[in-house]
Amino acid sequence: MRVYVLNGPNLGRLGTRQVDVYGVTSYADLVTMCVDTGRELGLDVVVRQTDAEHELLGWLHEAADEGAAVVLNPAAWSHYSIAVRDACAMLRGPLVEVHISNIHAREEFRHHSVVSAVATGVICGLGVDGYRLALLHLAGRLATSD
């Protein structure tokens, strides 16, 4: 089963950007972890990152057309992008929203995500382990839907 792990703006800077908030794991290490975890769980994981909102929308449309599951870290777009939220609402497969930091313990403007209302589940504040947990959840969920 195909699972898209999609990452929004600035996540390509992991390991160098605000390491006190996002940790020292590099983006390349995150990609490796997601692909390896997926392989262990029998998932075909495709990991992508973009700083261009239209590109993320295209990937969400692709996942919707395929009926694929999605792990999404919309990053800053979480808090204001109705376009990203609407594309997520089109998904037919499960959607797990992931945030590396605890958005509820940060600045007030980060406390609300417009994506959460259309997500199957939300994981935040567990660092990059949130991605691993999201993939574990999806593997179990997809196995019981076959």
Q: Has 22 been annotated as catalytic?
A: yes
The answer to the question of whether 7 is labelled as a binding residue is no
The answer to the question of whether 86 is labelled as a binding residue is yes
52: DSSP letter: -
Q: In what order do the strands lie in the sheet with 121-124?
A: 44-49, 2-7, 69-73, 95-99, 121-124
| Residues 77-123: tens digit of each pLDDT | 998 999 999 999 999 999 999 999 888 767 777 777 999 999 999 99
SS3 48: strand
Residue 27's domain is classified under what CATH number? 3.40.50.9100
| Domain coverage including residue 33 | 2-145
Q: Please tell me the total count of domains within the chain.
A: 1
Indicate which residue of 99, 111, 112, 131 is catalytic: 99
| Residues 45-71: tens digit of each pLDDT | 999 999 999 999 999 999 999 999 999
Tokens in use for 37?
């975890």
pLDDT at 100: 92
- 23, pLDDT greater than 70: no
Q: Has 99 been annotated as catalytic?
A: yes
- Which pTM does this prediction carry? 0.92
The answer to the question of whether 73 is labelled as a binding residue is yes
